[in-house]
Amino acid sequence: MWWSRLARPTLHAWQDDDQPLRLVEQTVARDDPDPKALACYGLLARSWDDPTDPARRSEEMWLRFVEGRPVSAVTIAFLRWCATQACVRGKRAMLLVWDNASWHDSGIVRTWLRAHNRQVKQSGHGVRLLACALPVKSPWLNPIEPKWLHGKKRIIEPARLLPAHEVADRVCTAFACPHEPHLVAPATAPPKRKKTPITVASPAMAPIIHLSQSKKVA
């Protein structure tokens, strides 16, 4: 999920005729060190202490912001943190319902999930993570999407540009969750150039070219 510092959501609000409420379009200064948008991983954790009684369902948001872009390595760090949170709450398994983003469905993430679940099964300790991908282009099937929509309306500031840290603080306050340390995307090393060997031809390998002299015509 991306939290933009510039985008303005569509919303309705009560206002006075003398002091109308307007959303002022913001711009980012050239010397502004903060990014225009913040990446955030979120999980809507729902659990039922008694499956036969839906009223006893508990619900909370688990959020972790990212310094950089969401990639497979950051997804694994977030899943490892979620497994720890679920283990603290006495859970043995967690069903993950997410979309088909590249950082969700990559081979690295799927390989890590298999290895994690295998380790939990062999050791008998930990929380199994069962991933369930949503159909393509169907975000409305994910119950966390309405949460994101309402959250963007709750953190809006009409007349000034919010710094990145204040955006993160407001998001965590809107969802009543602690502001955890940000996950850090690994630095990508520049691609190494391959050294192409240069072959120097020896005199024995050099081609022999025979030149014939043309006869002079009188």
State pLDDT tens for residues 131-165: 998 888 887 888 899 999 999 989 988 888 899 99
DSSP structure class, residue 79: H
Whether 85 maps to a domain, the answer reads: yes
| Rounded-to-integer distance, Cα 187 and Cα 73, Å | 11
Please check the confidence at residue 20 and state whether its pLDDT lies above 90. Answer: no
Residue 40: inside a domain, yes or no? yes
Higher pLDDT, 104 or 9: 104
**Does residue 172 form part of some domain?**
yes
**Within 10 Å of residue 64's Cβ, how many Cβ atoms?**
20
Q: What is the pTM of this model?
A: 0.77
Tally of domains within the chain: 1
Maximal CA-CA distance, the chain: 117
Number of Cβ within 10 Å of residue 65's Cβ equals 22
* 26-36 confidence digits (pLDDT tens): 788 888 899 99
| E strand map for 23-136 | 37-48, 57-67, 93-98, 128-133
How much is the pLDDT for 218?
A: 44
Q: Which amino acid is at 32?
A: D
Residue 214 lies in a domain: no
Domain that holds residue 176: 34-145+166-184
> Going edge to edge, which strands form the sheet with 2-4?
2-4, 37-48, 57-67, 183-184
Please tell me which residue, 216 or 124, carries the higher pLDDT value.
124
Q: Which is more confident, 39 or 211?
A: 39
